[in-house]
Amino acid sequence: MAKGGKSTLKRIMAYVGRYRFPMVLSVIMAACQVGLSLYVPILIGQAIDLIVGAGRVDFTGIRVILLKTAAAAAGAAALQWCMNLINNRVTCRVVRDMRNSAFEKLNTLPLSYLDSHPAGETVNRLISDADQFSDGLLMGFTRFFTGAVTIVGTLFFMLSINVHIALVVILLTPLSLFIAKFIAKRTYDMFLLRSRTKAEQTAFIDEMISGHKTVAAFGGEEKNLIRFDEINTRLEKCSMSATFFSSLTNPSTRFLNNCIYAGVALTGALICISTAGSAAPFTVGQLSCFLSYANQYTKPFNEISGVITELQNALACASRLFELLEETSEQSDSGNADIPHAKGDVRFNDVSFSYQPDRPLIEGLDISADRGQRVAIVGPTGCGKTTIINLLMRFYDVTGGEILIDGQDISAVTRSSLRKNFGMVLQDTWLKTGTVRENISFGYPDATDEEIRAAAKAAHAHSFIKRLPDGYDTVIGEEGGSLSEGQKQLLCIARVMLRLPPMLILDEATSSIDTRTEVRIQRAFDEMMKGRTCFIVAHRLSTVREADMILVMKDGRIIERGRHEELLKLDGAYAKLYNSAF
């Protein structure tokens, strides 16, 4: 097994170790089941010896042996069923635990990870890779337990019957193990490549489905077909390579095991002939019993080699899950302080930040916003407007300087308490699958129906909600289903109006709303923002004219600041932006 496979297997066993008792019980059942299975050939051998010779058939003895054989077979079948039930349960719980760990990890990953990894690839790890791992793990449990016990048990019985014939089996067996190990080393990397290519394909499909309208609008279907065909072809090639090489294991070991069986039959027959008439003859029944043991001894090697394909695939899929678990989590809160109810005084003191160490974005940024002030941030695309919001919410941490709220450094408080003091409406709306009521109350699940309706009315969403089939109980699908962009944004605004924290962030909050509705929403915002510190990011400069302070940014720096009239008089960057819009 490859080095990566060994480390992955150790981590898998750590999860399996949580269920020691059922696993020990499964091993005991496997031993009992194999013991009963190995008792059957002894009974059959005895029966054969009772019918050797004309007129010397012991029907009474055979009847007793047949009853014993039936009881042993029934007991073995019942134990096999119980063992499979236990293995199924353990496998499902191990995969459940791994998925829970992966999902918990997702909640701790920094925004930088989610920004740099396709969503489809991450989903593939939690769903497809976990399923593939589950299939391989279940097959491994079932086959390895019974196989290992069968090998030990048959070896013991063969040695007790005839040492010389048993040595023939023992000496030839390592060849089968060598072939299985040789192929397994080379298939692990092949299955890992297949799993990664499958994740790439899933990410591409997810990307194309979510952006289908844009693709169709720009006539990109043909390019996407070519791209998909290229990924699909690579997936086919790596799948074929992995399956082909892994499929060599079973026929190769089966050929060697058949050779072992033939060697046992030939050696046993010669011993039968040579010991005939002696004081301790090697009987036909014993030979039959030995051949049955030889077949059972080699069978686990065939089964285990057949499992190698699934096992290597399972390990490759598990390693991708563990790659996610090994990602660096968001830096833990350095302090345990909370901001239960912020007043809203915000200061940026000499703040520096860069997404990449060699490409500085913000340097020496100073912003001062007093409680209840409206601060608008404007500027060309890529100047750092949204980055300021990310820093304020601690989606990213500053690389230099400090951000203070009510005089307290936000790096010294918990992220959860910090974010509870902010209400956020973004340009990109997000709604979960559920009712309209559940989406509005997402940040305040204990809200009453009256509070939810009041928030919807304040956001001017109540009128269109009433027209929905079931009103507030209408179930909307992923990303808002059939709702328009404007309607989805109204629901997001209603979500913030329900909670009304002391500070607000509006990042192009009315970008998808018609002008008439925007005027009404702006009035609602005016009422909502009274006494609350508000940061407004906008391209539509009509929404920032009433701001107490307008910050004009360029290349991560503030080049102008002041009120609307003051900046127009400067006839600088803001005046050019404003005049170009009007």
- Burial code of 215-247, b = ≥16 C-beta within 10 A, e = fewer? beeeeeeeebeeeeeebeeebeebbebbeebbe
Find the mean pLDDT for residues 511-531.
Answer: 72
Instruction: Give pLDDT, residue 543.
Output: 67
- What's the token pair of residue 1? 């097994």
Q: Under CATH, what is the fold of the domain 3-325?
A: ABC transporter transmembrane region fold (1.20.1560)
Instruction: Give pLDDT, residue 131.
Output: 79
Phi, psi of 466 (to 5 degrees): -60, -30
Instruction: Give pLDDT, residue 5.
Output: 56
Instruction: Give pLDDT, residue 178.
Output: 74
Residue in the block written with tokens 């080379």? 186
Instruction: Give pLDDT, residue 333.
Output: 64
Q: Which residue, 519, 526, 568, is CA-closest to 547? A: 526
Strands 408-409 and 400-405, bridge-based pairing: antiparallel
pLDDT of 238 > 60? The answer is yes
- Residue 313 CA to residue 128 CA, distance in Å, equals 12
Find the mean pLDDT for residues 486-512.
Answer: 81
Instruction: Give pLDDT, residue 6.
Output: 66
Find the mean pLDDT for residues 328-346.
Answer: 74
Amino acid in position 552: V
Phi, psi of 253 (to 5 degrees): -70, -35
Residue 332: band (very low, low, confident or very high) from pLDDT cuts 50, 70, 90: low
pLDDT of 175 > 80? The answer is no
Instruction: Give pLDDT, residue 414.
Output: 83
| Span 65-84, pLDDT tens digits | 889 989 988 998 999 899 88
Residues with Cβ < 8 Å from 249, sequence gap 6 or more? 179, 180, 183, 184, 305, 306, 308, 309
Instruction: Give pLDDT, residue 582.
Output: 60
Instruction: Give pLDDT, residue 71.
Output: 92
Instruction: Give pLDDT, residue 96.
Output: 87
User: How far are the Cα atoms of 6, 324, 331 from residue 105, in angstroms, in the given order?
Assistant: 23, 8, 13
Instruction: Give pLDDT, residue 304.
Output: 65
pLDDT of 419 > 80? The answer is yes
- What's the token pair of residue 369? 């916003």
Domain boundaries, the chain: 3-325, 346-581
Find the mean pLDDT for residues 325-346.
Answer: 75
Residue in the block written with tokens 């009853």? 67
Instruction: Give pLDDT, residue 4.
Output: 52
pLDDT of 174 > 80? The answer is no
Give the H/E segment covering residue 15. helix 3-16
264 by DSSP, 3-state: which?
A: helix
Instruction: Give pLDDT, residue 54.
Output: 53
| Span 240-271, pLDDT tens digits | 888 787 777 767 777 777 777 787 778 778 88
| Span 177-221, pLDDT tens digits | 677 667 766 777 787 788 888 888 888 887 777 676 667 766 777
Comparing 309 with 232, the larger pLDDT belongs to 232
Of the chain, the percentage scoring pLDDT greater than 70 comes to 88
Q: Which residue, 30, 24, 130, is CA-closest to 83? A: 30
What's the predicted TM-score (pTM) here?
0.62
- Residue 80 CA to residue 84 CA, distance in Å, equals 6
Instruction: Give pLDDT, residue 74.
Output: 92
List, as one string, the DSSP characters of 88-145. HHHHHHHHHHHHHHHHHHHHHS-HHHHHHS-HHHHHHIIIIIHHHHHHHHHHHHHHHH
Instruction: Give pLDDT, residue 75.
Output: 92
- Residue 407 CA to residue 345 CA, distance in Å, equals 8
- Exposed / middle / buried, residue 170 (Cβ in 10 Å: 0-12, 13-18, 19+): middle
| Span 110-122, pLDDT tens digits | 777 777 777 777 7
| Span 455-484, pLDDT tens digits | 888 888 898 899 988 889 988 876 666 788
- Residue 294 CA to residue 292 CA, distance in Å, equals 5
- Residue 571 CA to residue 576 CA, distance in Å, equals 7
| Span 19-64, pLDDT tens digits | 888 888 888 888 888 888 888 888 888 887 777 655 677 778 888 8
List, as one string, the DSSP characters of 342-385. ----EEEEEEEE-SBTTB--EEEEEEEE-TT-EEEEE-STTSSH
- Work out the mean pLDDT of the chain and round it to a whole number: 80
Find the mean pLDDT for residues 532-547.
Answer: 78
Instruction: Give pLDDT, residue 327.
Output: 81
Of the chain, the percentage scoring pLDDT greater than 90 comes to 2
Partnered with residue 414 across adjacent β-strands are none
User: How far are the Cα atoms of 368, 470, 491, 516 from residue 513, in angstroms, in the given order?
Assistant: 30, 23, 12, 8
Residue 334: band (very low, low, confident or very high) from pLDDT cuts 50, 70, 90: low
Question: Per CATH, the architecture of 346-581 is what?
Answer: 3-Layer(aba) Sandwich (3.40)
